[in-house]
Amino acid sequence: MTQPAFLNLVLLSGKPEEKLQAARDAGFDQVEIWREDVEACEGGAARLAQQGPGFTNLQVLRDFTGAPGALRQQKRDELRQFIAMAQALDCDTIQAPATTRADAVAAQIDEDLCWLATEVGRFDMRIMYEPMAWCSVDNTLPLAWERLKRLDQPNIGLVVDLFHICALGGDASQLDNIPAERIYEVQLCDMAAQPSPRDKEAIMVIAKHQRQLPGAGIIDVGSFIDKLKSAGYQGPVGIEVFNDDLKRLPPREAAQQAYAALRRFWP
């Protein structure tokens, strides 16, 4: 693979060190690591950084944009904690999805994203902005790209997560007109059946418990791959699958299955 192949550690069970070892042994170049994994490691970020593999990003700074009232300052303080943790990991990217809060202050989202870009830029870091199907604002890739294009912050880019696109009935055409360099990572997965785009609860259950490895469900993964290759995408490509059954497997086995699925689509 020319691009880094990554695994989101949410697929694996076990201690953080075991998860990293399983991902590395399976062949992954990088992992998406969660703050909870770092906090659960006895040696902290420094130990995980020594063990490797590399880190695609640190997850996840939730509901940063549009945070109402006093929560806005709390979220800014939380960002600084993420920055310190990312530095200790030798990781230059933090994932901050679009807000899911019903009470988000939409009018301040642009300002919050610009502040976010400036703050992480002081440390030569980047932000991955992810539109999720249940976000209250920017819940689709076109909406998120429209905002980022308008703001023109060079260190904020998009996460392309096939689940969130397809769960709302979207397809690979949503990648049209998005410059490849503004896509910071691509998360592959699949799903067994199409939920109703209006059934938020069903979408969330599938998203957090029942995603499938790419090729095991109904998503036309190949169409997304074709679009990305045609656009000249050169960033990380990996697996983000929340699946309770796979998580019950030994981490080494689950990681091997994930790597095999990835290689079928992005050899």
Domain total in the chain: 1
Q: Report pLDDT for 52.
A: 76
Instruction: Tell me the average pLDDT across 117-130.
Output: 98
Question: What CATH number does residue 74 fall under?
Answer: 3.20.20.150
- Please write the tens of the pLDDT for every residue from 63-98: 999 999 999 999 999 999 999 999 999 999 999 999
- Please write the tens of the pLDDT for every residue from 157-183: 999 999 999 999 999 999 999 999 999
Q: At what angle do helices 44-51 and 71-89 cross, to 10 degrees?
A: 40
Mean pLDDT, rounded, of the chain: 97
- Please write the tens of the pLDDT for every residue from 7-35: 999 999 999 999 999 999 999 999 999 99
Q: Report pLDDT for 1.
A: 45
**Widest distance between CA atoms in the chain:** 48
What is the C-alpha separation between 202 and 218, in angstroms, rounded?
A: 16
Percent above pLDDT 90 for the chain: 97
Domain around 97: 5-265
Instruction: Tell me the average pLDDT across 201-217.
Output: 98
Q: Report pLDDT for 113.
A: 98
Q: Is residue 223 over pLDDT 50?
A: yes
3-state SS track over 161-185: EHHHHHHCCCCHHHHCCCCHHHEEE
